[in-house]
Structure 1
Amino acid sequence: MVALVLVALLARLYHLGDKPYWLDEVTTVRRASLGVHALVVDSLSFHHLPLYFLISRGFTALGTNEASLRLPAALFGALSCALLYGASRMIGGRRAAVAASMLLALNPFQVQYGQEARSYTLVICFIVLALWSLASTLRNPAAAARPWRAPGSARIGWLLYGVATIGALDTLSVAVYWLLAGLLAIALIAAKHPKQRRGLLINAGLVHVVILACYLPWVVAMHQLTHGDMASGLDWVPPLTWYRFWTTIQGVYLLRTTSLIRFYTFPDGLPWLGWLASLAAGLGLLRNVGRDGAVLVAAVALAMLPAGLLVTSLVSPVWMPRYLAWSGPVFFLFAGLGLARLPRRSSWVAIAALGALSVVNLLPYYRLETKPLWNQAAVLLRRGLPPEGLLFTDAPVDVAMMNITLGRLGEPFRADRWTADPGLALRQLQGGHPVWAVHGRVGQADHTSVATFAETVSPLGAPCWSGAVGLDIIIEAFAPSGSACTAPAVE
């Protein structure tokens, strides 16, 4: 387990600070610099639970550069491998634990979120711990049903399940689907064991009263601070389509590298490797389902999150890759169970081969442009824009992201050097001053398309130069009539 955790940590620390911040990470940078009260209020006002940001605030002593504020995510990502090892070993033995933890350690999707200054690896840690605790508790219904003070009761398991579930809910609201999975698993075990049913339901009821008492006040506070507009926090999520569904499945379960801000799968790596893991997971599910309560808990958890998000998307779109992040470890748990079903020598060979192939599959991730290169665009625009020129952007958050990089250089864009008003940009151009325009993706549901950007800048006339920075950023230069074109020096 220690070796696998070190592998996971190395994979997440490797080039940890190389890729630039993007919009959500800029929020973490800003929020982590606030006082505790202001941080909590700001988080709840934007539909976020505050726990992860409070933890990030403690890491600002190391700086606010990419490596420093992503370090908590890397540490939690490595810790999740240790927790999955424990859960898998309890359910399926050592070989299952090694295989499951290895797949989690080297999955490009999990490594990516282990290099993201956001809360997803923390919620994974809490939910894997909760799953481990609940599975261990329910595999022995007689002990799970005993009063907590009675000898041989499962009070430690219930306690850990409750604490971990509270932690998950106080980190990310998507953990509600784990709460539902836990309740469903408990109900199914209670239905199968009528002699223990009353004790199981009493113990479960006590735990969940405490869980809700520690979670619902945050929901009430969020409702107050958003003035009752709770649904607006998801108005940026794009509608579910087959393409978006399949791209998400490839990243979360099939070991593919996907873009963080686009529904796009890169063609690099070993595209067929995920299918081998899927075959192992299918074998693990078929050969183990119904064996005991521990497997039932894992099976319900595996199904609940994607099914819940799909059903919820019928009312309001919520299908996002990162919202499915905590179901990835459960999928790899079943892959481990499947590989453990092979003959002992064959299974160790298969696990070793899968590990080596996973390393090969992961390596392209580090060089792929999984985030927009706003750091490069920032330096190019700040250094190249003529002193008398004006920068136009169709999204002010573009400047906020670029100023993260430029602030370190002591050269942030001042308010008089840029505008989001196309009328002001036109007057600047008509007054004989050049205008540069920038457009780029800032998230997975940008409301301004390239076509809309082109329409917005069309009054400026035809650009005298246009180019791109990476995959997601467009820059256009407009020169006054009769003036020479000053073009950005895009490499």
Structure 2
Amino acid sequence: MTNIRPHLARSQAKTILLALLPVGLTLLAFGLRVYHLTYQSLWRDEVDALLFATRPLSELLATFRRPGENGPLFFLMLRPWIAAAGQSEFALRFPSALAGALAVPLAYVLTRRLAGRGPALATAALMALAPYLVWYGQEAKMYALLTALVPLALWLTIEAAERGGWRRWITLYVVTSVCFYTHVLAALVVPLQAIWFLVLRGGWGGSETHQAPGASEAPGAWWAILRAIRPWLAPVIYLFALVLPYLPLVWWQAVLWLSPTFETGHPFVPLPEMATVLVVAFSRGILPVQEPLTLLPFVLALLAGALLWPGGDRRQESGGRRQESGDGRDRWRPLVLLLTWLLFPVLAIYGVSLGMPIFADRYLIWIMPAFLALIGMGIVVLARGWRPLALAALAAIMALNLADVAAHANQPIKADFRGAAAFVLPQLQKDDLVIFQIPYSRFTFRYYSGRSVNRVDGPYTNDGMSETELANQMVTAVGQASVAWLVASEAELWDARGLTEKWLAAHGAITDRAEFMRVTVTRYDLR
């Protein structure tokens, strides 16, 4: 009896620790996302979120049916928050920090449902520390929210497929709808769910079809048909109910996308390059990787999870209880589901991009939990084979994550309009002219200046405009101004030849100049 009590105490302590670990990792994720939340200046996409959320309500609601609009529901949800919390950098970014932290327990719950507690804890730790997720958890856009919504939708997919019940189906319907009104490419969750239904109810260890009372007396052929159809009725009804109301939205988008004059603004990216971009970003974050060898622990764990998990251990967890599984399909199911989640959206976007390039790595941020779950499974598999290798891979991943998070949080990366505005405003006179190149950057400058300025848009010259044509436009735009400020950011998108700057240099003298991250400010005394 004396020997049993210490054992029970240790067992209880371990149980409590394992229960508290996801909570601790969630708090860690929140802390990392709130730390230096306002260090980076807002960039134009974040200011867009503010502008879209604060437009007149009738205009905002109209975006739900307007072609080309992306994420109208995110801006609608942001609207009351801005009204309550204000328009500061911290207020604009805080919802993303919160959503990014909530993604950690949601990924934990989903991964535990699929693969057990060990991979789930590893996944939660990776979600908390991933530099890519921390970065977008500090951006006033919808991407962090997607990392919470999609795992929730997929967990509900399993719940509805395996346990049924109209409440689960309705909840799944609502959450999935929120997904693709938060970002247009999250609509790929719907065909992904259809694939998951096939896996979950197609003999991969999903819910069983129970024989109804009196079934043995029913006509054999009819009962066979009923038994074959019955498991698929609810998923089919759900998918039709989900898709049909949104066919007009698909049509409106198709009309826009198929227009010969429509351009997405994205270059075509070959599939191997897409895969490379995603692996690098999901592993190391948004900064360029100087040493490709640092990707090795991520790739090693990913391949271990993808290749060794089904045969790594016959013991499975179900609802937190370990059990022996004699059915090989049960061991394959989590791998099939996670690989489908990771690969299908990439292939779908590549297919669309063959006709209309739309790839950007952040658009696929919602597949990153699958990437990290496979790495978590790989760490567990490696630990079963040779624990020192697993510990070394995990330690290397965590060390690289922390280093990248620190780099993101302590060096300017986004266009520094905060610094540019602080430089210009004390010197700006009433009649000074401010030229914005690209013109859209004026909204970010206005956010930090807090007032209107006497401004003109820099001419678009990338359509082949001649120097003579530019000169005529500049003479008209400048008028009688004696001082002009050129605020240039991403100018190559508008004026790759630098014709505007050349004209100003030819017709004025540079009297001041300052370089900020991705923004250059030049003051000209015009002649």
TM bucket (normalised to shorter chain) is 0.7 to 0.9
Letter of the aligned partner of 1:257 in structure 2? I
Asked if the contact 1:166–1:214 (Cα under 8 Å) also holds between the matched residues in 2, the reply is: no
Taking the aligned partners of 1:432 and 1:175, their CA distance within structure 2 comes to 48
SS in 1 for 2:265: coil
Asked if the contact 2:509–2:526 (Cα under 8 Å) also holds between the matched residues in 1, the reply is: no
The residue aligned with 2:378 is 338
The residue aligned with 2:449 is 406
Q: Note if 1:201 corresponds to 2:243.
A: no
Q: Note if 1:229 corresponds to 2:275.
A: no
Letter of the aligned partner of 2:452 in structure 1? F
Taking the aligned partners of 2:165 and 2:300, their CA distance within structure 1 comes to 35
CA deviations 1:53-84 (Å, max 9, x no partner) are 12211211111111101111111111111110
Q: Note if 1:372 corresponds to 2:415.
A: yes
**How is 1:157-176 mapped onto 2 (pairs within 5 angstroms)?**
158-176=169-187
Q: CA deviation at 1:459?
A: 3.2
The residue aligned with 2:5 is none
Asked if the contact 1:5–1:81 (Cα under 8 Å) also holds between the matched residues in 2, the reply is: yes
The residue aligned with 2:75 is 53
Q: Does 199-208 or 34-43 show the bigger shift?
A: 34-43
Letter of the aligned partner of 2:256 in structure 1? D
Candidates 211, 235, 239, aligned match of 2:242: 211
Change (3 A) 1:348 1:206: farther
Q: Does 129-138 or 242-251 show the bigger shift?
A: 242-251
Q: Note if 1:64 corresponds to 2:87.
A: yes
The residue aligned with 2:146 is 123
Q: Note if 1:327 corresponds to 2:367.
A: yes
Change (3 A) 1:399 1:321: same
SS in 2 for 1:372: coil
The residue aligned with 1:484 is none
Taking the aligned partners of 1:68 and 1:80, their CA distance within structure 2 comes to 20
Identify unmatched segments of 5+ residues in structure 2.
Answer: 1-21, 210-226, 311-328, 460-469
SS in 2 for 1:163: helix
Identity percentage over the alignment? 23
Candidates 500, 503, 507, aligned match of 1:459: 503
Letter of the aligned partner of 1:458 in structure 2? K
Asked if the contact 1:191–1:197 (Cα under 8 Å) also holds between the matched residues in 2, the reply is: no
TM-score, normalization by structure 1: 0.80
Letter of the aligned partner of 2:132 in structure 1? F
Taking the aligned partners of 2:292 and 2:410, their CA distance within structure 1 comes to 17
Change (3 A) 1:48 1:458: same
Asked if the contact 2:190–2:239 (Cα under 8 Å) also holds between the matched residues in 1, the reply is: no
Asked if the contact 2:432–2:481 (Cα under 8 Å) also holds between the matched residues in 1, the reply is: no
Change (3 A) 1:17 1:86: same
Q: Note if 1:39 corresponds to 2:60.
A: yes
Change (3 A) 1:430 1:47: closer
Q: Note if 1:26 corresponds to 2:70.
A: no
Candidates 63, 86, 97, aligned match of 2:120: 97
The residue aligned with 2:3 is none
CA deviations 1:448-469 (Å, max 9, x no partner) are 1442xx1234333446438553
Q: Does 122-131 or 378-387 show the bigger shift?
A: 378-387
Taking the aligned partners of 1:272 and 1:43, their CA distance within structure 2 comes to 45
SS in 2 for 1:253: helix
Taking the aligned partners of 1:300 and 1:246, their CA distance within structure 2 comes to 15
Taking the aligned partners of 1:252 and 1:197, their CA distance within structure 2 comes to 44
CA deviations 1:66-104 (Å, max 9, x no partner) are 110111111111111111011111222222111111112
Letter of the aligned partner of 2:59 in structure 1? A
Q: Note if 1:472 corresponds to 2:518.
A: yes
Taking the aligned partners of 1:227 and 1:137, their CA distance within structure 2 comes to 31
CA deviations 1:13-44 (Å, max 9, x no partner) are 11112222222211211122234433222465
Asked if the contact 2:304–2:382 (Cα under 8 Å) also holds between the matched residues in 1, the reply is: no
Q: Note if 1:239 corresponds to 2:268.
A: yes
Candidates 281, 290, 307, aligned match of 1:252: 281
Asked if the contact 1:136–1:294 (Cα under 8 Å) also holds between the matched residues in 2, the reply is: no
SS in 2 for 1:319: coil
TM-score, normalization by structure 2: 0.75
Change (3 A) 1:71 1:215: farther
Q: CA deviation at 1:253?
A: 2.3
CA deviations 1:358-385 (Å, max 9, x no partner) are 2233211112333111221122223334
SS in 2 for 1:341: helix
Letter of the aligned partner of 1:479 in structure 2? D
Asked if the contact 1:182–1:301 (Cα under 8 Å) also holds between the matched residues in 2, the reply is: no
CA deviations 1:386-408 (Å, max 9, x no partner) are 5543222233212111000011x
SS in 2 for 1:393: strand
Change (3 A) 1:210 1:234: farther
Change (3 A) 1:241 1:230: closer
Q: CA deviation at 1:356?
A: 4.3
Letter of the aligned partner of 2:237 in structure 1? L
Q: Note if 1:441 corresponds to 2:441.
A: no
Asked if the contact 1:280–1:335 (Cα under 8 Å) also holds between the matched residues in 2, the reply is: yes
Candidates 187, 194, 201, aligned match of 1:183: 194
Letter of the aligned partner of 2:526 in structure 1? P
* RMSD (CA atoms): 3.2
Letter of the aligned partner of 1:185 in structure 2? W
Asked if the contact 2:180–2:186 (Cα under 8 Å) also holds between the matched residues in 1, the reply is: yes
Kindly name which structure, 1 or 2, has the bigger radius of gyration based on alpha carbons: 2
